[in-house]
Structure 1
């Protein structure tokens, strides 16, 4: 049976290339003084990776230079983990080459590097987090959150995907999530779920954030599809999760989600990890995440 490497770029919406155009416009809103200095000679530049990490963001990097009439050739596939071949040695890996007019290579340099570094950083954090959860024996879904940077969500969600975690809901229209403010505004979990279901119909799941076992039961009885046990941990989280699964077995199908304060340091058995929990969601893989370090250097002899 042949194994097909997924092409995640095929998932990107039609609008993403327009965003790349806007990034270039933001970075050079007027005259390109440095571009005047280097001119139009055709040059070749090497993209170096200078820190370990998962390569992610290739479509965005490619599109930056495509719009600038440059060609990119990759030496690695997206999703590969880049590391030094010699343990303990400083990382410097020739990941790709860019060829085109020197002015245009430098025009796209910073936009392309920033995007690649951010996307690869999120993919790396996602991969490490998911592996830590698996090492702890967790078999459920590991997901990111919607706490992404406005205008940069495509890149950040894409990084999660390449890193091997679920992207959770993409935006407010993707899945109905009813949090504490929704519940307080409508008076009860039951009211909030009923109101949401009356307009979203059968095609969207409803995810309800709850603070206690009693609220979880109310959400299940109201017909919620996902019960988010928010900011619960340790014995409280695990005992509630097991009790809910046992008491509602064969009566109503739902998923249990653990969220709030979960990071790579506390993803372990007895903390947030137990296989009675279907989903672990975290923002730690994309907020305050360290970037992967890349640089682009023009070959003087090219």
Structure 2
């Protein structure tokens, strides 16, 4: 089973708007659940500030790739607020005072503030890490695919997978239903390897999987040199085989895995332990526009 990768689909498109890959009903459901989690009962703060119409400005306080706009929009849409963006998604930014504005009743803006910021800071953090890694492998002249893994945050997978795409890397399989992939526990339980994508921990396992008809071989937890050697042998014996490197690979070590015989490098670090990009949302006050004030508020 072989399919076009996410980046294959997007190749040739200049600054693509990929928000259309997201199902609008799913985004709406997520936004409602996030808001319910943060305010399941009474909103006492909202009662205090009332329903005066206000405008808040989204400020960026650290550098990074902007990602997560569809989710940010969905949160405020549920609260009858209007979001106006000044910068396209996927843009690399240094601290800036006017990424977007949010207009609506002040209690509604404040009801969505923390939820929306939680999403966009994390989405942008993932996209920023993905962009750095993509740039690293491109600078090396490697033409394979960098991908995330299924090691995502429960309930937050759509945001994390989407952010990988914004950052320029592939999502790998989205869930267990996306592709048949046999990992070590499947193999040990079944006693042998069958087909599709198979996680292999030795060259012998990889040869068995390839001879059984697997499309993709994941060489898991190989040292860089062992991986390069195994990939060369497998490509010679099975030229059409797709070879994936995985297991313990980081942003600092990925260059050692960028071999001509390796087609995919997958990293769990992209969706585990990522740094966030720092945003804040400030309401205009007493005629002062936050866009005209320093970003280190």
TM, length-normalised to structure 1: 0.88
Q: What's the CA shift string for 1:48-100, capped at 9, x where partnerless?
A: 010100000000001111110111111100000011xxxxxxx3432011111
The offset of 1:115, in angstroms, is 0.3
The offset of 1:4, in angstroms, is 5.0
Give the alignment partner of residue 181 of structure 2, picking from 177, 180, 195.
177
User: Where do residues 282-301 of structure 1 align in structure 2 (5 Å cutoff)?
Assistant: 282-301=267-286
Give the alignment partner of residue 39 of structure 2, picking from 19, 25, 28.
28
Tell me the secondary structure at the aligned position of residue 268 of structure 2.
coil
Is residue 35–residue 106 contact of structure 1 (8 Å, CA) maintained in 2? yes
* Aligned pairs, number: 275
1:76 corresponds to 2:87: yes
Q: What's the CA shift string for 1:240-266, capped at 9, x where partnerless?
A: 1011111223xxx32000000111101
Q: What's the CA shift string for 1:96-133, capped at 9, x where partnerless?
A: 11111000000000000000001000000000011112
Is residue 125–residue 286 contact of structure 1 (8 Å, CA) maintained in 2? no
What is aligned with 2:264?
A: 279
What is aligned with 1:8?
A: 18
1:57 corresponds to 2:44: no
Question: Aligned Cα RMSD in Å?
Answer: 1.3
What is aligned with 2:55?
A: 44
What is aligned with 1:232?
A: 222
Is residue 129–residue 263 contact of structure 1 (8 Å, CA) maintained in 2? no
Structure 1 residues 43-52 or 7-16, which shifts more?
7-16
What is aligned with 2:245?
A: 258
Aligned in 2, Cα 1:3/1:237: closer, same or farther, shift over 3 Å?
A: closer
Tell me the secondary structure at the aligned position of residue 63 of structure 1.
helix
What is aligned with 2:117?
A: 113
Is residue 27–residue 74 contact of structure 2 (8 Å, CA) maintained in 1? no
What is aligned with 1:129?
A: 133
Give the alignment partner of residue 155 of structure 1, picking from 148, 159, 178.
159
Aligned in 2, Cα 1:235/1:3: closer, same or farther, shift over 3 Å?
A: closer
Aligned in 2, Cα 1:43/1:266: closer, same or farther, shift over 3 Å?
A: same
What is the CA–CA distance in structure 1 between the aligned matches of 2:97 and 2:92, rounded to whole Å?
Answer: 11
TM, length-normalised to structure 2: 0.90
What is the CA–CA distance in structure 2 between the aligned matches of 1:105 and 1:215, rounded to whole Å?
Answer: 56
1:219 corresponds to 2:184: no
The offset of 1:211, in angstroms, is 0.8
What is the CA–CA distance in structure 1 between the aligned matches of 2:285 and 2:53, rounded to whole Å?
Answer: 11
Is residue 148–residue 164 contact of structure 2 (8 Å, CA) maintained in 1? yes
What is the CA–CA distance in structure 2 between the aligned matches of 1:57 and 1:163, rounded to whole Å?
Answer: 11
The offset of 1:230, in angstroms, is 0.4
Moved over 3 A (4+): 2-5
Tell me the secondary structure at the aligned position of residue 285 of structure 1.
helix
